[in-house]
Amino acid sequence: MPKTNEPIDAIELLTQQHREVAEMFERFENMTDRAKVSKKKLADEICNALIMHTTIEEEIYYPATRAASDETEDMIDEAVVEHASAKDLIAQIMEMDPGDDLYDAKVKVLGELVEHHVEEEEEEMFPKTRELKLDLKALGQEMQARQKEIEASQ
**DSSP-assigned states of every residue in the chain:** ---S-S---HHHHHHHHHHHHHHHHHHHHTS-TT-HHHHHHHHHHHHHHHHHHHHHIIIIIHHHHHHH-GGGHHHHHHHHHHHHHHHHHHHHHHHS-TTSTTHHHHHHHHHHHHHHHHHHIIIIIHHHHHHSS--HHHHHHHHHHHHHHHHHH-
pTM over 0.95: no
- Over residues 101-130, the pLDDT tens digits come to 999 999 999 999 999 999 999 999 999 999
- Over residues 8-49, the pLDDT tens digits come to 899 999 999 999 999 999 999 999 888 999 999 999 999 999
